A and B are shown apart, each in its own frame.
Chain A
Amino acid sequence: MSTLSEKLQAPAEHTAKPVRPSQPVLSVREVRISDQAAGREIVHGVSFDLTPGRTVGIVGESGSGKTLTCRAALGILPAHFEVTGGSIELDGHDITGFSTAEWTSLRGSTISAVFQDPASYLNPSIRVGAQVAEVIRVKKKVRRREARRQTIELLRAVHLRDPELVYGQYTYELSGGMLQRVLIAAAIAAGPRVLIADEATTALDVTVQAEILDLLADLREQTGLALVVVSHDLAVVAQLCDEVLVLRQGEVVEQGPTHEVLHHPRHAYTRLLIAEHEQYGLDRFLAPEEDA
């Protein structure tokens, strides 16, 4: 475990920004997102603050706008979608009007993300290790050999058995759980301060899901990473998050400390979610449709 903390703190030192716990690293204010093709608003005002070492959860059904909100924070909204109201501040900078170069320097080293279906987020034609090493090489400006050494340490840190072997493999040679670990390794390689996990455990089976959630919790404890966890599954959110937003059709219907929301839900929709969970508790076994 000492390896893990040592490795993961090194990048944080490298970026060398004073971490003030009170200062939010990600601050989302009344954000509205519209689909310009259809000419309608999809997300009607989402707000939350994220400080280092804390976790915000966003729950909601498919198409409720949770993924869009995250993509807005990453600056990767799909074609025709635009932020039409509110503001997003990343490490104290308003992201509106960011140039491509500014985004490039912030992504990876300040904010990063992992997604559902990890295989598709890694290049199928490049060995997975080389893709993690690429991030280290580019973002931390280290030599090839050193990047390779750090990558193997990083792969070990995300609990991949036999990291040397995994380094030289292609995506189609790895299982979903392993790929998600590789994707996490690539995401944290440059020592970001915010990590967005968008349905990161959805397609995995239950034991693997629990392991990945543990890994995320470990990373948060040891590096002061701030997490945004997006899921349709209340159980995932309950396990990791300090604060929860419940989204329904682009509207925040409930927002507050996880404990509060789970035990004293005020909105009917939240109660419905909790009740369904208690009643069936099976939704994690069903592979849900990917949301737009």
Chain B
Amino acid sequence: MTTTQAQATPDVRRPVAAAGTRHTLGRVLATLARSIAIFVPVFLVATFVTFALRSLSGLSPARIQLGEDATPEAIARVEAQWGLDRPFLVQYGDWFNGVLHGQLGTSWTNGADISTLIGLGLGVSLSVATFALLIGVVVGFALGTVAALRRTTWIDRAITGFVTAISVMPAFVVGIVLVAVLAVQLKLFPSAGYIPAEQGLGPWLAHITLPAVALSFDVVADVARQLRSSLVAAYRENYVTGAVVRGLGPRRVFFCHVLRNGLGPALATLGLKFPSLVGASVVTEWIFGLQGFGRFANDSAQAGDVPAVQGVLVVSIVLVVVFNLFVNLVLARVTPASQRGV
């Protein structure tokens, strides 16, 4: 009996492993397809709204270039140069085609290529946003986990209180306080500016730490809160009772069963949080004097430079969509059941 088993085992393993891989690949593809099916309409609608902004705003490059008292003929000439005299849908089609090829057009104010301008600022913003996400995830996970494990004790209440406190602090308020205390008063950090990572990791970190901390408060609070409640909910599930009854220790039950299922909602929160992170960068970059993506958005918007604003919005939408795609893939890996029949 034992000999036959020993022979049988290798034969048995292979088909299972193969089926497993096929399964996994299929799942990844299915998740990708579903996510894309959701995001393509999102992208279309969002870009359309973005593009419609110009018509709605009634702004024109002629005003910016020629000033307020230009003749109607001059305005018409400039608008024709920019192709603004064509039907709306033709303009949209052209612009959308450009977007698909990475061409976001040229700025009304200085004629520079918008893709290049945004590319310059993106490095700064992504450094800060990534660092903020990192802080948010690490601190949020730690707080949420500890609160869930010590639920209904004073530790839980203290963490919940702290999380509530930081969740109501808007990024720009935190930013100002950080600048006032840590940069201006204690001189621990530079109060403004940015140094690329290539010029030294230390200065780079020093410059992005304060803005990242300011942005991270919201993420920390949301991740901690969501993780706590989904972990507490997961602890109430029958499969936890099942694992306990099978004699698995508390640590194993937590890491292998509770955390895995509790992670899903927290990850989804992260996906939802990303847009507000991008949005808040407008304010934090203003406070910390960073020439990033958000600052560029603010400056272009205030200058009435419509193509630049459209470009910023498109890039932000792409960022959000890509990030959410990534989150969905991770989610599909962590909690396969949740992906079913959504």
Known: A126-B256, A167-B16, A170-B336. 18 other contacts (CB 8 A): A76-B244, A108-B247, A109-B247, A121-B238, A121-B241, A122-B239, A123-B260, A126-B257, A126-B260, A135-B247, A138-B249, A139-B246, A139-B247, A149-B9, A152-B12, A168-B16, A168-B19, A172-B340
24 CB-based A-B contacts, threshold 8 Å: A6-B1, A74-B245, A101-B249, A104-B250, A107-B245, A108-B248, A109-B247, A112-B246, A120-B239, A122-B239, A123-B257, A125-B335, A125-B337, A126-B260, A134-B256, A138-B248, A149-B9, A164-B16, A165-B16, A168-B20, A170-B336, A170-B337, A183-B242, A189-B246
Over the window 161-177 of chain A, the binary record of Cβ atoms lying under 8 Å from chain B Cβ atoms (1 yes, 0 no) is 00011011011100000
B257 engages A107 (CB within 8 Å): no
A42 contacts the other chain (Cβ, under 8 Å)?
no
In the complex formed, the residue of B with least CB distance to A2 is: B1
A242 contacts the other chain (Cβ, under 8 Å)?
no
A135 vs B252: C-alpha distance in the bound complex, in angstroms?
A: 11
A122 vs B239: C-alpha distance in the bound complex, in angstroms?
A: 5
A81 contacts the other chain (Cβ, under 8 Å)?
no
Within 8 A of B (CB), among A53-85: 74, 76
A108 contacts which chain B residues (CB < 8 A)?
Answer: 245-248
A135 engages B248 (CB within 8 Å): yes
In the complex formed, the residue of B with least CB distance to A167 is: B16
B246 engages A3 (CB within 8 Å): no
Over the window 214-252 of chain B, the binary record of Cβ atoms lying under 8 Å from chain A Cβ atoms (1 yes, 0 no) is 000000000000000000000001110111111111101
A120 vs B257: C-alpha distance in the bound complex, in angstroms?
A: 13
With most chain B CB atoms within 10 A of its CB, the pick from A107, A123, A135, A165 is A123
Contact with B242, one of A2, A106, A115 (Cβ below 8 angstroms): A115
B328 contacts which chain A residues (CB < 8 A)?
Answer: none
A105 contacts which chain B residues (CB < 8 A)?
Answer: 247
**Chain A residues in contact with chain B, CB under 8 A?**
2-3, 6, 74, 76, 100-101, 104-109, 112-113, 115, 117, 120-126, 131, 134-135, 138-139, 148-149, 152-153, 164-165, 167-168, 170-172, 183, 186-187, 189-190
Known pairs A104-B249, A107-B245; A121 contacts B239 (CB<8 A): yes
Contact with A117, one of B238, B245, B337, B340 (Cβ below 8 angstroms): B238
A163 to chain B, nearest CB (A): 9
A123 engages B261 (CB within 8 Å): yes
B183 contacts the other chain (Cβ, under 8 Å)?
no
B247 engages A120 (CB within 8 Å): no
B245 engages A187 (CB within 8 Å): yes
A172 vs B256: C-alpha distance in the bound complex, in angstroms?
A: 19
Known pairs A124-B261, A168-B20; A187 contacts B246 (CB<8 A): yes
A134 contacts which chain B residues (CB < 8 A)?
Answer: 248, 252, 256
B257 contacts which chain A residues (CB < 8 A)?
Answer: 123, 126
B23 to chain A, nearest CB (A): 7
B239 contacts which chain A residues (CB < 8 A)?
Answer: 120-124
A122 vs B237: C-alpha distance in the bound complex, in angstroms?
A: 10
B57 contacts the other chain (Cβ, under 8 Å)?
no
A138 vs B20: C-alpha distance in the bound complex, in angstroms?
A: 23
Over the window 2-27 of chain B, the binary record of Cβ atoms lying under 8 Å from chain A Cβ atoms (1 yes, 0 no) is 00010001001101100110010000
A168 engages B244 (CB within 8 Å): no
A172 contacts which chain B residues (CB < 8 A)?
Answer: 337, 340
B178 contacts the other chain (Cβ, under 8 Å)?
no
Within 8 A of A (CB), among B284-341: 334-337, 340
Residue tally, chain B, CB below 8 Å to A:
33
| A-B CB contacts (within 8 Å), total count | 102
Within 8 A of A (CB), among B184-230: none
A121 engages B247 (CB within 8 Å): no
A120 vs B261: C-alpha distance in the bound complex, in angstroms?
A: 13
A125 vs B230: C-alpha distance in the bound complex, in angstroms?
A: 15
In the complex formed, the residue of B with least CB distance to A196 is: B245
B336 engages A125 (CB within 8 Å): yes
A189 contacts which chain B residues (CB < 8 A)?
Answer: 246
A164 vs B17: C-alpha distance in the bound complex, in angstroms?
A: 10
A131 vs B248: C-alpha distance in the bound complex, in angstroms?
A: 11
Over the window 237-277 of chain B, the binary record of Cβ atoms lying under 8 Å from chain A Cβ atoms (1 yes, 0 no) is 11101111111111010001100110000000000000000
A117 contacts which chain B residues (CB < 8 A)?
Answer: 238
A234 to chain B, nearest CB (A): 26
B11 to chain A, nearest CB (A): 9
A104 vs B246: C-alpha distance in the bound complex, in angstroms?
A: 8
A106 contacts which chain B residues (CB < 8 A)?
Answer: 247
In the complex formed, the residue of A with least CB distance to B249 is: A104
A150 to chain B, nearest CB (A): 10
Known pairs A123-B261, A125-B261, A172-B337; A164 contacts B247 (CB<8 A): no
Contact with B337, one of A74, A124, A167 (Cβ below 8 angstroms): A124
A80 to chain B, nearest CB (A): 12
A100 vs B335: C-alpha distance in the bound complex, in angstroms?
A: 28
A170 vs B335: C-alpha distance in the bound complex, in angstroms?
A: 11
Known pairs A138-B252, A168-B19, A171-B337; A186 contacts B242 (CB<8 A): yes
The 3 closest A-B pairs by CB, nearest first: A108-B247, A121-B242, A107-B247
A195 to chain B, nearest CB (A): 10
A261 vs B238: C-alpha distance in the bound complex, in angstroms?
A: 33
A168 engages B248 (CB within 8 Å): no
B5 to chain A, nearest CB (A): 7
In the complex formed, the residue of B with least CB distance to A189 is: B246
A171 contacts which chain B residues (CB < 8 A)?
Answer: 337
A122 contacts which chain B residues (CB < 8 A)?
Answer: 239, 242
B261 engages A113 (CB within 8 Å): no
A100 contacts which chain B residues (CB < 8 A)?
Answer: 250
In the complex formed, the residue of A with least CB distance to B250 is: A100
